[in-house]
Amino acid sequence: MSSDGPGTEIGVVERDFPVSYAIFAMARAHRAIAASRLAALGLYPGQELVLVQLGEGDGVPQKSLARALRVSHVTIAKMITRMERSGLVERRASPTDGRLSLVHLLDPGRALLQEVRRTWAALEQATTRDLDAAARAAFLAAAARVRPALDDAAGDATQPG
């Protein structure tokens, strides 16, 4: 650890890779808070995003959910299976294309939707409480510029070497 003064000790990873570490630390803290608040609702992280997405339009192909939430087909399949077991959603074959599995909200899932939205609104508020409008806009602009590079790197990492 190094120190730039009292109370400012940083680890070597943070010192050597400040942007990556900032993203890691922020995402980890955000996810921990979200997980805690979601557990109180009986949800696992990511399930709330499925509920919100389905709240915008029910009967969504599983593949479309995976794309919208930026997760793999395996991840969305596991998530939907767990949510089915909890009685929040159900899969039905598409009436027009039996190869497609459409995900529908069930009443218990629909009942959680408002609480999920309130939870995320509170998380958004806590996350941005020290940012004025200009700082928030700058953060979003920087994130929008970083994300495609990470997407490209993630794609490169999954390609055979």
Q: What integer is the mean pLDDT of 118-144?
A: 95
Note every long-range contact of 135-144, with CB atoms under 8 Å and residues 24 or more positions apart, other chains counting: none
Per cent of the chain over pLDDT 90 is 76
- pLDDT the model gives residue 156: 64
pLDDT grade, residue 97 (50/70/90)? confident
Amino acid letter at 119?
Answer: T
Within a 13 Å sphere around the CA of 53, how many CA atoms are in the beta-carbon half?
23
Q: How far is it, in rounded angstroms, from Cα 140 to Cα 146?
A: 10
Q: Is the pLDDT of residue 151 over 90?
A: no
Q: Is the pLDDT of residue 147 over 70?
A: yes
Tens of pLDDT, residue by residue over 43-61, are: 999 999 999 999 998 899 9
- pLDDT the model gives residue 152: 85
pLDDT grade, residue 155 (50/70/90)? confident
Query: What mean pLDDT, rounded, does the chain reach?
Result: 89
> Contact, 73 vs 92, CB < 8 A?
no
Sequence-ordered strand ranges (E) for the chain: 2-3, 9-10, 60-61, 89-93, 101-105
DSSP state of 60: E
- pLDDT the model gives residue 54: 95
pLDDT grade, residue 86 (50/70/90)? very high
Please name the residue that has the structure tokens 């700082």: 135
| 158 contacts: CB under 8 Å, gap ≥ 6 | none
- pLDDT the model gives residue 157: 57
Architecture of domain 45-116: Orthogonal Bundle (1.10)
Domain ranges of the chain: 12-41, 45-116
Q: What integer is the mean pLDDT of 75-103?
A: 93
pLDDT grade, residue 3 (50/70/90)? low
